[in-house]
Amino acid sequence: MTFPKNTWYVACTPDEIDGKPLGRKICGENIVFHRGTEGQVVALEDFCPHRGAPLSLGTVCEGKLVCGYHGLVMGCDGKAESMPLQRVGGFPAIRVYPAVERYGFIWVWPGDAALADPALIHHLEWAESPDWAYAGGLYHIQADYRLMIDNLMDLTHETYVHSTSIGQKEIDETPVKTRTEGEQVITSRFMDNVMAPPFWKANLRGNNLPDDQPVDRWQVCRFTPPSHVMIEVGVALAGHGGYEAPADKKVYSIVVDFITPETETSHWYFWGMARNFNVHDKALTEQIREGQGKVFAEDTAVLEGQQRNLSKYPGRRLLMLNIDAGGVQSRRLLDKMLAAERAHDEARAQAAEKVAA
């Protein structure tokens, strides 16, 4: 397996389960999400114990899933509650997945439920602060989730893939620095005294700053397992301290990326941007969201083509250049996590065997 399962992933956003169930495959598990009897988020195996229809094709009635095939009513605890003219007491229960709603997202733990601790959910300061505004979207991408991590941990591609929005030649002329700090990989690039590309010009105007003067630009990408990449990005009017410049001289945001594996070769990409300037300007929020959506659609095309090539020639050796260090170091952390998970699964299987014997 290429993805850890004993960890929290973003599964969906609240609007996706508004009054209806949502079926979504996450880490190879078919899961149905809905709002339960208390308004809480419920994640169950997407499988009706009667004849195996996906429960996500049914409806939600007073917080309970109703199978769309023959009307079985499923409790939030995975136990069948009723079915027209049938006794359901002996029906096998279906699996319940730990799920939590936090920071405007719904998180799921697709692995061993006994290990699911909500305190382990990635903390997002900006999601709790009125000083920040956030907007984003979701793309379903036919590519290994690790290709997206590689992409976000190496922004040299912006010069080529995003030439009309955020790309500029100085990006691939400026070396990046990559380091691993504990459970985090950080790749950073600072470009001084450059002209802002179109996306940043628009943001400068959005914060009532001139867009025709040189700026200092920065990109600091932070990967944390299993697959979260937060990128601090911004520009400041040149000579005011760059990254450290006072708030009235810069525009600054965090590009938010939650990359949730669906299968070994596909993933759910929750992208967005949190900003701390002009936060009440809804039109600006929408303008940024639209711009970012277009930029990320450009990555999708490259990644899906890359995956098709890799699937066709699985034995082909790829090169590792210094620009790839961010992706390489991120995969190293992931491999460590996967090895720990394998050891945990083996120990659990051995314990179960002992009990059986």
Residues forming contacts to ligand FES in the complex (CB under 6 A) are 48, 50-51, 53, 67, 69-72
The nearer residue to ligand FES, 70 or 102, going by C-beta atoms, is 70
Q: Is the peptide bond before 198 cis (omega within 30 degrees of 0)?
A: no
- Quick one: angle between helices 145-152 and 282-312, nearest 10? 120
DSSP string of 222-233, one letter each residue: EEETTTEEEEEE
The nearer residue to ligand FES, 69 or 139, going by C-beta atoms, is 69
Give the integer Cα–Cα distance in Å for 254 and 51.
46
The nearer residue to ligand FES, 16 or 81, going by C-beta atoms, is 81
Q: How far is the CB of 200 from ligand FES (least distance, A)?
A: 52
With CB under 5 to 8 Å by kind, the binding choice for 255 among Fe ion, ligand FES, none is none
The nearer residue to ligand FES, 11 or 32, going by C-beta atoms, is 32
CB-based burial label for 266 (10 Å; 0-12, 13-18, 19+): middle
Q: How many residues does the chain have?
A: 357
Largest CA distance in the chain: 77
With CB under 5 to 8 Å by kind, the binding choice for 132 among Fe ion, ligand FES, none is none
CA-based nearest residue to 251, from 289, 215, 293: 215
Give the residue at shortest CB distance from Fe ion: 299
Q: How far is the CB of 49 from ligand FES (least distance, A)?
A: 8
The nearer residue to ligand FES, 71 or 214, going by C-beta atoms, is 71
With CB under 5 to 8 Å by kind, the binding choice for 299 among Fe ion, ligand FES, none is Fe ion
In this structure, are residues 232 and 219 in contact, taking their beta carbons and an 8 Å threshold? yes
| N-to-C CA span, the chain | 29
Letter for the amino acid at 336? Answer: K
Give the integer Cα–Cα distance in Å for 346 and 350.
6
With CB under 5 to 8 Å by kind, the binding choice for 48 among ligand FES, Fe ion, none is ligand FES
Q: How far is the CB of 55 from ligand FES (least distance, A)?
A: 7
Phi, psi for residue 134 in degrees, rounded to 5: -135, 145
The nearer residue to ligand FES, 50 or 240, going by C-beta atoms, is 50
User: Among the candidate windows 99-107, 111-119, 268-276, 296-304, which touches Fe ion by CB under 5 A?
Assistant: 296-304
Among residues 261, 299, 330, 333, which is the contact residue for Fe ion, using CB under 5 A? 299
Q: How far is the CB of 222 from Fe ion (least distance, A)?
A: 16
With CB under 5 to 8 Å by kind, the binding choice for 53 among ligand FES, Fe ion, none is ligand FES
With CB under 5 to 8 Å by kind, the binding choice for 70 among Fe ion, ligand FES, none is ligand FES
The nearer residue to ligand FES, 55 or 141, going by C-beta atoms, is 55
The nearer residue to Fe ion, 41 or 155, going by C-beta atoms, is 155
Phi, psi for residue 13 in degrees, rounded to 5: -110, 155
CA 341 to chain centre: 21
With CB under 5 to 8 Å by kind, the binding choice for 67 among Fe ion, ligand FES, none is ligand FES
Q: How far is the CB of 52 from ligand FES (least distance, A)?
A: 6
Give the integer Cα–Cα distance in Å for 148 and 3.
13
Q: How far is the CB of 295 from Fe ion (least distance, A)?
A: 6
DSSP string of 42-61, one letter each residue: EEEES--TTT---GGGSEEE
Phi, psi for residue 108 in degrees, rounded to 5: -130, 150
The nearer residue to ligand FES, 55 or 194, going by C-beta atoms, is 55
Q: How far is the CB of 30 from Fe ion (least distance, A)?
A: 30
With CB under 5 to 8 Å by kind, the binding choice for 334 among ligand FES, Fe ion, none is none
Letter for the amino acid at 108? Answer: V
The edge-to-edge listing of strands for the beta sheet with 228-237 is 133-141, 266-275, 250-263, 228-237, 215-224, 184-194, 177-181
Q: How far is the CB of 71 from Fe ion (least distance, A)?
A: 47
Binding site for Fe ion (CB under 5 A): 299
